[in-house]
Amino acid sequence: MGERLSIKTERDEQQLFNSRAIIAALIVLLALTGIIARMYFLQVKQNAYYTNLSLQNYQHRIPIAPTRGQIYDRNGVLLADSKTKYVIQVVRDSVSDLNDDGKRNYSDIDILLGQLSGLVSISEKEQRLFMQQLRKTSRYQPTVLKENLTDVEVAKFAVNKPRFPGVDIEVRMERNYPYGKVASHVIGYVGRIDERDMKNLNRDEYAASTHIGKTGVEASHEDRLHGQTGYSLHEVDAHGQYKDLLDEKPPVGGQDLFLSIDMDLQLKAEDLLKNERGAVIAIDPTNGEVLAMASMPTFDPNLFVNGISHKDYTDLRDNPDRPLYNRALQSAYPPGSTIKPMVALGGLQEGVIWPSKTTYDPGFFQIPGNKHRYRCWKKSGHGAVGIDRAIAQSCDTFFYDMAYRMGVEKYSNFMRNYGFGQVTGIDLPSESPGLMPTPEWKQKRYKQIWYPGDTVNIGIGQGYWLATPLQLAHAVATTSMRGIRVKPRLLHAVRRVKNEPPEVLPPEYLPKVVLKNPHFWDLSINGMINVVNASYGTAKKVSQGISYTMAGKTGTAQVFGIAQNAKYDAKKLAKRLHDHALFVGFAPASNPKIALSVIIENGGGGSSVAAPVARAMMDEYLLPKPALDPNAPAGPPKPVATLVNNTKNSKQPRER
């Protein structure tokens, strides 16, 4: 048939084919252009996206935890150290059938140990102990094969890990507090990172960390202590096998902290309060450094490091003496008479009293037109008193009258400038702001108006006014420095690089208390000197045999609002209704080196119970130390402590 086609048909068919072929050729071009467009989209437009996916595919980043910084006192006494410990352990059930007999049994473990010994050195003793332990442990639980692996062993194993199902390296951080219960409220403790911590922290930075500071300096300086997490970046294939080490960044250890705490003074403070509930805070008034901060009773932070047992925790939590509570800054007490030297300054500043001003004290104060008598602690009255005797003898009537005439606004305002009613900003968590009451506050809190009597009460540090022991220490330090306020702090110095000298941090100044006449400071400070040193001073006994000038102020706070628990026996209940004993002071008066506040809950009178503690603290800090027997760092038995016990039940009238 084909042969019979005419030439014309043949030419037509050729042309038909040619046109179809040309169209096809164009379609081919179009389609391949489409593929190239697709390639352009993938390789240029979405290149970053796919590059990222590719990296995720084949790169494994293993975070490496930094070593936590250590904590020392100001003299380099170790308070907290930490070691990162690598532990290799085996879960028997997950070990593969290495001898191919279809069963997993102890002979597989023998083979496993043989294979592992090329990577990790395992002594015969470790091997024996491990096999013993393995037989005792559930097949699903890990058994420790070797503790304290070297970095090289860890690295070697990490690369070969896919070969060893059931074998794991656990990082254990061992935080240790060598002084145990001492200064535990200050140092705090670390604990395992829990879900609440996870919400707040940078997960990348904590990718390898197991612990985090929970309280105290451990928590407030977590950023400095933690350090920077490092990593190693491995190439990994589709089967999870590690190929090459691509990149590595070693972790940077945390900073070592040198606290302002003087451990000798801290030990002294805790010893002085060892049978009490209370707090002692000693501050260097020139720079705000806290030299001692004791809150008693206390607790052992080591219990918390690797998870506290349920029983230990319940014991601490349910203890009526609340050992976990840092009384120095979490508890707010009525400051009582301790604030009289500062209150007097407020009166002078506002002009309601003046240097020559005297007030007659008949033993009570009455608001004009009102019959209610606000009693002075001395029933017979002090007679005519000026500023000096009002402070030294703690005359209530003088301050009732002064506060009444000053008015609550000016009064609260002045005390606020002193730092009351607000946190000091110390570098510890959970600080209470206390309470410096105002009419607005009372209206909001109690839906009641402010009565003039409320002003009279806060005039002697009672009523609604609440202050933390730290605020009192800060206030007395401010007074000693004639108005210069330094933020209290616990961090004295930091060491960023191991073996380098620590860098001392500068003090942080707060707004000054400025008086219109600097001479006013002398009036207040002299009153405080006379509290301790004058024959008429409320705490004159405490200055016996003293070799420096001590200034101070006693205080006694009425106890109220203590929840009464039926479990307590009558004796204990009675004890809990005793007044709190307070004392604030500083020394030497002309050149202050230490300012402190003491509170002993239900201790009784400030002069008899709290003042001797203050004196003992100042002696410890200011007097040259006798050559101590190094085996007895806490010092010889303390007569002061005996004195505290003996005077507790004294029937003498006490000042407020």
Partner 1 sequence: MFNNLLPPIVVQILQRLDLVLLSALGLLIFAGGVTLYSASDMSLEMVYRQGLHFLLGCSLMVVMSQVQSKTLRQWVVWLYGIGLVLLVLVLVVGETKKGATRWLYIGIDIQPAEMMKIAVPMMIAYYFSEKSLPPRLIDIIIALILIFVPMLLIMKQPDLGTSLLIAVSGLFVIYLAGMSWWLIGGAIAFIAVAAPLMFHYGMHEYQRQRVLTLISDDVNVLKEGYHIYQSKIAIGAGGLYGKGWQNGDQSHLDFLPERHTDFIYAVFGEEFGLVGNLALLSLYLFIIWRALYIASKGEDTFGRLLAGSLSLTFFIYLLVNTGMVSGVLPVVGVPLPLVSYGGTSIVTLMIAFGIIMGMKKRKRIYQTDD
Give me the least distance between CB of 96 and partner 1, in Å please: 21
Give me the least distance between CB of 48 and partner 1, in Å please: 9
Structure tokens at 128: 């024996």
Nearest to 163 by CA among 128, 126, 111, 121: 111
Q: Is 306 exposed, middle or buried (0-12, 13-18, 19+ CB in 10 A)?
A: middle
Give me the least distance between CB of 245 and partner 1, in Å please: 15
Give me the least distance between CB of 60 and partner 1, in Å please: 11
Residues 6+ apart with CB under 8 A from 226: 66, 68, 69, 205, 206, 209, 212, 213, 254
CB-nearer residue toward partner 1: 13 or 503: 13
Give me the least distance between CB of 239 and partner 1, in Å please: 7
- Which residues make up the interface to partner 1 (CB under 8 A)? 1-2, 5, 9-10, 12-14, 16-18, 20-21, 24-25, 28-29, 31-32, 35-36, 38-40, 42-44, 46-47, 49-51, 53-54, 57-58, 235-239, 243
Give me the least distance between CB of 33 and partner 1, in Å please: 9
Report yes or no: 605 and 583 within 8 Å, Cβ to Cβ: no
Quick check: helix, strand or coil at residue 412?
helix
Q: What is the CA radius of gyration of the chain?
A: 37
CB-nearer residue toward partner 1: 44 or 632: 44
Burial 563-579 (b: 16+ CB within 10 A, else e): eeeeeeeeeeeeebebb
Give me the least distance between CB of 14 and partner 1, in Å please: 8
- The Cα 319–Cα 476 span in angstroms is 32
DSSP 45-105: ITHHHHHHHHHHHHEEEEEEPPPPPPEE-TT--EEEEEEEEEEEEEEGGGS--TT-SSS--
Structure tokens at 526: 């002299």
CB-nearer residue toward partner 1: 54 or 380: 54
CB-nearer residue toward partner 1: 18 or 150: 18
CB-nearer residue toward partner 1: 11 or 572: 11
CB-nearer residue toward partner 1: 54 or 314: 54
CB-nearer residue toward partner 1: 28 or 577: 28
Determine the residue type at 21.
Answer: A
CB-nearer residue toward partner 1: 32 or 577: 32
Question: Do you find a cis peptide bond into 297, omega within 30 degrees of 0?
Answer: yes
Report yes or no: 364 and 397 within 8 Å, Cβ to Cβ: yes
CB-nearer residue toward partner 1: 50 or 536: 50
Give me the least distance between CB of 26 and partner 1, in Å please: 10
Residue corresponding to tokens 């707060």: 510
Torsion of the alpha carbons at 131, 137, 139 and 145, rounded to the nearest 10: -40
- The Cα 628–Cα 636 span in angstroms is 9
Q: Active-site residues: which are they?
A: 337
Structure tokens at 429: 């968590």
Q: Is 580 exposed, middle or buried (0-12, 13-18, 19+ CB in 10 A)?
A: buried
Structure tokens at 531: 């509290």
Quick check: helix, strand or coil at residue 410?
helix
Nearest to 65 by CA among 216, 213, 211, 188: 211
Taken in order 212, 218, 219, 223, is the CA torsion positive or negative? negative
CB-nearer residue toward partner 1: 9 or 133: 9
DSSP 282-349: EEETTTTEEEEEEEES---THHHHT---HHHHHHHHH-TT-TTS-HHHH--B--GGGGHHHHHHHHHH
Distances (CA, A) of 103 to 54, 95, 109, 177: 39, 11, 12, 47
